[in-house]
Amino acid sequence: MEISRVQYNDYVKTLMESESHDEAMKLAIGGNFDAFGILQRELLISLGLAREDKLVDIGCGSGRLACKLRDYLRGPYLGIDVVPQLLEFARKLCQREDWQFTESRADFSIPAESETADVVCGFSIFTHLLHDQTYRYLLEGNRVLKPGGKLVFSFLEFHMKSHWPVFEATAEAMESGVLNQFIERSAIETWCEHLGFRVEGFFDGDKPHFSLSEPAHLDDGQVFTSEGHLGQSVCVLVKP
């Protein structure tokens, strides 16, 4: 984890040297800042995120999701990330003094009391962690969720043809040290057996599976109008 933490902090510093501050903060989480904020928000709402709920956002980055939830979510929000500059940008962008943006811990624990969260989410975060690190976050997610609460996360998987180029690019550039981790659904199901989660559903990364209340315009010109998907596959777990 500390290697990943250092690499990501260095990556952000490099962006800040070549881009304006705001552009660097938005590019640091991979682009499509506004579009994917909308898509992630709409996905969570479609899965039952209510206005008064408490949300824990693992790997919140520079506030891509948080800023799109600002006018919807009245309940508590906790965002955690490894880069202090991104957290500060998210804090200023959202202007919600009642929300928390906190640096993530090296032991992969979530700084929240047990059974206090309605939803825990992790978008494009487990794709950059080792399996045991992801398992640790799932364990912590189970702890902080209320009974009936949901854990929603995106992941890469080998059977998705649209994900395969990511694996090929990673294999061709192993010296870069960038980790793009794939997780098979069978592994998630096995983890859930040990953690006590129930799998509510899996959604393919290339098929629309939730409705949109506003269009999402991607950087490449693609526009999602009435339905959307995240590109990465999505898993929804429920704490009994």
pLDDT (tens, 9 = 90+) of the chain, 240 residues, equals 444 677 778 888 888 899 999 998 999 888 899 999 999 999 999 999 999 999 999 999 999 999 999 999 999 999 999 999 999 999 999 999 999 999 999 999 999 999 999 999 999 999 999 999 999 999 999 999 999 999 999 999 999 999 999 999 989 877 666 789 999 999 999 999 999 999 999 999 999 999 999 999 999 999 999 999 999 999 999 999
The pTM of the whole model exceeds 0.85? yes
237, 189 contact by CB (below 8 A): no
pLDDT number for residue 2: 46
CB neighbour class for 42 (10 Å; exposed up to 12, middle 13-18, buried from 19): buried
Would you say how long the chain is, in residues? 240
**Coil, helix or strand at residue 141:** helix
Q: What angle do CA 65, 81, 188 make, to 5 degrees?
A: 80
Confidence (pLDDT) at 4:
66
Residue in the block written with tokens 């990511």: 166
Q: What is the pLDDT of residue 174?
A: 72
**pLDDT at site 185:** 98
pLDDT at 31: 87
Determine the Cα–Cα distance for residues 37 and 33; give it in Å rounded to an integer. Answer: 6
Question: Which tokens is 27 given?
Answer: 């590019």
Compute the Cα dihedral for 137, 140, 142, 147 and give only its sign: negative
For residue 3, count CB atoms less than 10 angstroms from its CB and return exposed for 0-12, middle for 13-18, buried for 19 or more: exposed
> What was the pLDDT predicted at 1?
43
Cβ atoms of 102 and 84 within 8 Å: the answer is: no
Beta bridge partners, 235, equal 153, 202
CA distance 196 to 74: 29
218: tokens are 């991607």
pLDDT given for residue 191 in this prediction:
98
